[in-house]
A and B are shown apart, each in its own frame.
Chain A
Amino acid sequence: MRYLPLTDGDRRAMLARIGAASVDDLFRDVPDEALAAARFDDLPDHATEMAVERQLSALAARNRAAGAGPCFLGAGAYRHHVPAAVDHLIQRGEFLTAYTPYQPEVSQGTLQYLYEFQTQVALITGMEVANASMYDAATGVAEAAAMACRITRRKHVLLSGGLHPHYGDVTGTFLRYTDVAVERLAPDPLGVEDRMGRVTGETACVIVQNPDVFGRLADLSALARDCHAQGALLVVAVAEPVSLGLVTPPGAMGADIVVAEGHAIGSPLTFGGPGVGLFATRQKFLRHMPGRLSGETVDEDGRRGWVLTLSTREQHIRREKATSNICTNSGLIALAWTIHMTLLGEAGFTRLARLNHQAAVALVERLERVPGLTVVTPTFFNEVLVRLPGRDAAAVVETLAARGVLAGVPLARFWPTWPELADGLLICATETNTDADMDALVAALTEALQ
């Protein structure tokens, strides 16, 4: 068996050293009834690399790869071109097969890239400090809500109706059995919800997304001021990290905690996971922040180096009093993110953002000419909400998929019981979409809406 180095001869010699009759003898502490009950008849035996590759390739072939034709799907997962060097570098075994850097003398590679990662995250979000990543943005938003409650010692969090529904679901689930009340506003495609009307002296934070899940960009400065006047924090989620290359960052609008989904930079879509949550805040809230942190220090010879630090917040020390139960972060996806960001640099990152916005503007100009379609989102980065009055958007999406065009994400996918949203469709354009893709989408939509 190709992954197991021991030979039968080795096993005999080792059992002799141990003084055991057989490998089964080493399991003698397991109750006999459990050993006897164990049946695995329905599972197959081992297979060659060639056979496994054949079977899994057949399953992969039953999927339509997003890039196999025009694709305009976003809604929290954005398709970007990832330079070849990224995947090559993250597959170096010294990165791929290392553990969490608890032994800093033999983990300086991981610790240095995490420190660089933290700096890049802080810079693009306009914040002062960032951690070494969370699982994804959804769990990051949940952690931000809990953190705001720790800071303010309040027990109410208000979630905007423009927040990605998965972020809201995960936050509600995460806090479900705590003493925190999670209030979610209704989906808000027009951007008219009254947030401050729901803020009380018990509100720890207001959580919004920018651009919101309907693609709308908003100036959050006034909201930040209003929150702070009430003693509440403003948490801003960013689902499309590329937007931060062109749009005023949440930090500059007064956000206290910023959470972003980093997955779109450095990693392929991979059906939505694994992702990487970017998490940044103000220096004064540092010790309330969850997650791992790489910090600069010196070694015995006075040379600069890095260690995991402020671990007194963590569960292996604090146990039931820890800031979070989370142990793992998303190291390798954070590495892909930071390598892609380093390749882009200031010039590349800002240009990539402009390319995305220009692609979306070009697409919207074309969509505005499609009869039976209304573009709802007035200000946007690379995604808009359109309405197809009188039509079931999910059915239109299926029709276009049959023609090889992935047109967008119908709102019914998130809100199946909201008939007033059934004609809504989220359409996104990135630098990967060509003019021909847009022509194909517009032609197919025009035909389907006739």
Chain B
Amino acid sequence: MTGPTPSTVSGNLGLRLEEPLIFEQGDPAKTGVDLPEPGDRPDRLGGLARSGPIGLPGLSEPEVVRHYTRLSQKNYAIDSGFYPLGSCTMKHNPRLNERMARLPGFADLHPFQPQGTVQGALAVMGALSDWLLGLTGMRAVALSPAAGAHGELCGMQAIRAALDARGEGDRRVVLVPESAHGTNPATAALCGFKVRGVPGDARGRVDLDAFLAALDDGVAAVMITNPNTCGLFETEIIALSQAVHDAGAFVYMDGANFNAIVGRVRVADLGADAMHINIHKTFSTPHGGGGPGAGPTVLSAALAPFAPLPHVVAEGEGEGDDGGWRLVEHAEGDMRPFGRMKGFHGQFGVLVRALSYMMSMGKDGLRQASGDAVLNANYLLASLGDGLTPSFEGPCMHEALFDDRFLKGTGVSTLDFAKALIDEGFHPMTMYFPLVVHGAMLMEPTETESKASLDAFCETVLALAEKARAGETAVFTEAPRHTPRRRLDETRAARQPVLRWAPPASARAAE
């Protein structure tokens, strides 16, 4: 199986089809949309009409459909195979959710219609709030953050506003465990906080003694992920939260891994003051190649008054499901919103999909989902434990963490191992994260993988580990070989950035 990529006359390889850029195949005379002839009234542009061509290519509809179909076939996706990307929760995206978001009563809705004409949409937001508050035990929820990191910003700004309101704006330190997602320190810095790192212990948890030692009266909050990024539950979380509260500070819980405990544990019972929920992880909305997500942020009673606008409130006779809802867009009463996170009313289309999922699963289904997610991860940990090197003792929660000790002396790196998995038809696990173990391999199977799927993956991984130990390094260092492109030169991309197409120099010279 070694040797150069097989060559053909066309450059295509069977189903693997080459596809040029739209700019290399378009013709300005073509279009894929028939539009009526515009009228010829004198314009009212005040002399600001554009001059000269824009340079956009024109393609007919069949050419456009083929272009994007061919592009799509160059992607790996959860629809096509196992995607054990730790910390990212690549689970099945139910298609009912897509259908619901496309109902004209949801999709064709203007954000500034009179509120009497959008009561169903406000009811969706109200119902989703009830679900999120019920599942977390928290007091209030801000629905508008656009994604996880945006939700972090929401929670940390609420904390800053609450501290300012009680005259403790000089608390400027945020404790962040070293296993945290990189967004945590970035968010804290954006809120004007200084980050103080907290080491982990030998069990992969926050070192409670070091944590307590770092907790002084300059601390505003702790940002803690639970289950943490090693896939482990922070066993001392209640004591830790209590100590934070006793010190007059707040607990920000990063909800990236909420999918491990949903339907079983309420974060309010763990002492959280704020937590964002990655809707596109826990509640099954598609990742879409990098968004759109949604990051509703639940808040404790202490932070609820500072929730950003807008709010949705049940109001009037027969309030709630069958009655009236109101979108509050400006502060009123005793609200003290710290501001507005996003244009309009947040990621409504994503929230409809999430509600569709929650209603489908119900509280019993969500509990089963977190159970199966944890079961699947522990099955990976048990099945791979002999051939790979688990970083910590089990049980794990929804993801299993391995390091690269099993590759020591083989000349194969974690990256090489991941690329060999691609040739075997699997998406790699998350690599080199968390930073607390060497050459990390973080595997998150999710609850939507079958046992047969996990068995096939484990068999492949164990066989690859055996090959690595047997010195078959080319299988790894030359991988991937069976993909639309082999390893790409990232250094060149960064040193000489080419971020847009431009006509070839010969074509420019001819103009």
Contact = CB atoms under 8 A, between A and B. Distances in A.
A215 to B, nearest CB: 10
Interface string A407-450: 00100010011000000000000010000000000000000000
Contact of B120 (A62, A174, A314): A62
B99 A53 contact: yes
A346 interface: yes
B59 A345 contact: yes
A342 B64 contact: yes
Contacts of B352: 56
A381 interface: yes
18 contacts: A43-B134, A56-B355, A59-B121, A63-B117, A83-B32, A94-B80, A103-B422, A115-B500, A177-B157, A247-B48, A269-B110, A309-B490, A309-B493, A321-B189, A327-B149, A331-B287, A357-B38, A361-B39
A109 B50 CA distance: 33
Interface in A48-87: 49, 51-53, 55-68, 71, 73, 75-77, 79, 83, 85, 87
A388 interface: no
Contact of B499 (A98, A252, A271, A293): A293
A361 B157 CA distance: 44
Interface in B332-387: 338-350, 352, 355-356, 359-365, 367-369, 371-372, 374-376, 378-379, 381-383
B160 interface: yes
B182 A316 contact: yes
B192 to A, nearest CB: 4
A194 to B, nearest CB: 20
Contact of B117 (A51, A55, A64): A64
B105 A342 contact: no
B293 A328 contact: yes
Contact of A18 (B116, B235, B261, B378): B378
Contacts of A244: 50
Contacts of A47: 359-360, 362
Interface string B480-510: 1001111111101110011111000000000
A401 B490 CA distance: 55
Contacts of A164: 343
B419 interface: yes
Contact of B146 (A15, A43, A274, A300): A274
Interface in A2-28: 2-6, 10-11, 13-15, 17-20, 23-28
B485 A324 contact: no
Contacts of B422: 103, 105-106
A325 B149 contact: yes
B32 A100 contact: no
Q: Which 5 A-B pairs have the closest CB atoms?
A: A272-B344, A173-B339, A60-B105, A345-B58, A93-B79
A375 B21 CA distance: 45
A272 B43 contact: no
B375 A38 contact: no
B411 interface: no
A58 B307 CA distance: 30
B47 A320 contact: no
A67 B342 contact: no
Contacts of B448: 3-5
A295 B105 contact: no
B67 to A, nearest CB: 7
Contact of A101 (B31, B266, B289): B289
Interface residues of B, number: 206
A73 B113 CA distance: 7
Given A3-B92, A173-B339, A77 B428 contact: no
B349 A270 contact: yes
Contacts of B308: 173
Interface stretch (A128-136, A196-204, A226-234): A128-136
A342 B32 CA distance: 8
Given A20-B395, A113-B71, A346-B55, A332 B288 contact: yes
A369 B434 CA distance: 67
Interface in A314-371: 314-322, 324-333, 335, 339, 341-352, 354-355, 357-358, 360-362, 364-365
B232 A29 contact: yes
Contacts of A136: 146, 342-344
Interface string A385-399: 000000000000110
Given A105-B484, A106-B483, A217-B45, A123 B342 contact: no
Given A31-B237, A37-B269, A333-B291, 20 more contacts: A5-B449, A6-B376, A18-B382, A27-B395, A34-B266, A47-B360, A52-B356, A59-B124, A71-B110, A98-B288, A268-B107, A292-B290, A297-B488, A306-B488, A319-B185, A325-B153, A331-B292, A346-B28, A346-B58, A416-B330
Nearest to A344: B33
A237 B480 CA distance: 43
B171 interface: no
Interface string B452-496: 010000000000000000000000000010011111111011100
A374 interface: no
A30 B395 CA distance: 11
Interface stretch (B83-91, B245-253, B401-409): B83-91
B98 to A, nearest CB: 7
Given A65-B109, A101-B290, A292-B290, A348 B32 contact: yes
Query: Among the interface residues A33, A43, A179, A344, which one has the most CB atoms of the partner chain B within 10 A?
Result: A43
Given A49-B360, A97-B287, A297-B493, A351 B35 contact: yes
A322 B343 contact: no
Interface string B381-400: 11100000000001101000
Nearest to B195: A320
B134 A40 contact: yes
Contact of A56 (B75, B356, B375, B488): B356
Given A115-B500, A118-B500, A273 B342 contact: yes
A310 interface: yes
Contacts of B119: 62-63
Contacts of A172: 339
Contacts of A57: 103, 105
A122 interface: yes
Contacts of B397: 29
A310 B99 CA distance: 37
A30 B265 CA distance: 8
